Amino acid sequence: MKDYGKFIGSLSFDARLAFFDVVGSIAHVKMLAKCGIISQQEAKRIIKGLLAILAGMQKGRRLPQKEDVHYAIEAELIKRIGPVGGKMHTARSRNDQVALDLRLYIRDEIRAIYELLVSCQKSILVQAKKNLDAVAPGYTHLQPAQPILFSHQLLAYAWMFERDKERLKDCFKRVNELPLGSAALAGTSFPIDRKYVAKLLGFSAVTKNSIDAVSDRDFAVEFISCLAIIMTHLSRLAEEMIIWSSVEFGFVKLSGAFTTGSSIMPQKKNPDAAELVRGKTGRVFGDLAALLTVMKGLSLAYNRDLQEDKPPVFDAADTVSGCLEVTAEMIATMQVSKKRMEASAKKGFIGATELADYLAKKGIPFRKAHGIVKGIVDHCAAGDISLDGLSVQEYREFSKLFGPDVKKCIDPKNIIESKKSLGGTSSKQVRMQIEELSKKI
Q: Which residues bind ligand ARG (CB under 6 A)?
A: 10, 14, 68, 94-95, 98, 302, 304, 306-307
Q: Which residues contact 334 (CB under 8 A, 6 or more apart)?
A: 127, 241, 245, 252, 253, 254, 255
Dihedrals phi, psi of 277, to nearest 5 degrees: -60, -45
Nearest to 222 by CA among 287, 297, 299: 287
Residue type, 79: K
**Measured between alpha carbons, how far is 230 from 160 in angstroms, rounded to an integer?**
8
Query: DSSP readout, 281-297?
Result: HHHHHHHHHHHHHHHTT
**Measured between alpha carbons, how far is 350 from 355 in angstroms, rounded to an integer?**
10
Q: Which residues contact 299 (CB under 8 A, 6 or more apart)?
A: none
Alpha helices, DSSP H only, in 334-365?
A: 338-345, 352-361
**Measured between alpha carbons, how far is 176 from 436 in angstroms, rounded to an integer?**
29
| CB nearer ligand ARG, residue 214 or residue 277 | 214
| CB nearer ligand ARG, residue 307 or residue 429 | 307
| CB nearer ligand ARG, residue 304 or residue 367 | 304
Nearest to 73 by CA among 101, 54, 96: 54
- Active-site choice (141, 263, 299, 421): 141
Tell me the closest approach of the beta carbon of residue 217 to ligand ARG, in angstroms.
Answer: 10
| CB nearer ligand ARG, residue 24 or residue 144 | 24
Tell me the closest approach of the beta carbon of residue 268 to ligand ARG, in angstroms.
Answer: 46
| CB nearer ligand ARG, residue 141 or residue 304 | 304
| CB nearer ligand ARG, residue 304 or residue 400 | 304
Tell me the closest approach of the beta carbon of residue 264 to ligand ARG, in angstroms.
Answer: 47
Decide: 388 and 347 in contact? Cβ < 8 Å.
no
Percent helix, strand and coil across the chain, each to the nearest 5: 70, 5, 25
Tell me the closest approach of the beta carbon of residue 322 to ligand ARG, in angstroms.
Answer: 24
| CB nearer ligand ARG, residue 215 or residue 327 | 215
Decide: 177 and 204 in contact? Cβ < 8 Å.
yes
**Measured between alpha carbons, how far is 243 from 251 in angstroms, rounded to an integer?**
9
Residue type, 47: I
Tell me the closest approach of the beta carbon of residue 98 to ligand ARG, in angstroms.
Answer: 4
Q: How many CB atoms lie within 10 A of CB 36?
A: 10
**Measured between alpha carbons, how far is 114 from 91 in angstroms, rounded to an integer?**
35
| CB nearer ligand ARG, residue 184 or residue 360 | 184
Nearest to 327 by CA among 110, 120, 158: 120
Q: Mapping DSSP to helix (H, G, I), strand (E, B) and coil, where does residue 191 land?
A: coil
> What is the signed CA dihedral for 148, 150, 151, 153, rounded to 10 degrees?
70
Tell me the closest approach of the beta carbon of residue 304 to ligand ARG, in angstroms.
Answer: 6
| CB nearer ligand ARG, residue 14 or residue 164 | 14
Tell me the closest approach of the beta carbon of residue 68 to ligand ARG, in angstroms.
Answer: 4
233 is catalytic: no
- Active-site choice (39, 204, 255, 262): 262
Q: Indicate the DSSP class of residue 177.
A: E
Tell me the closest approach of the beta carbon of residue 9 to ligand ARG, in angstroms.
Answer: 7
Interstrand relation of 143-149 and 135-140 (parallel, antiparallel or unpaired): antiparallel
189 is catalytic: no
Provide Rg for the chain, Cα atoms: 30
Tell me the closest approach of the beta carbon of residue 288 to ligand ARG, in angstroms.
Answer: 19
| Bridge partner list, 270 | 260
Active site residues: 141, 262
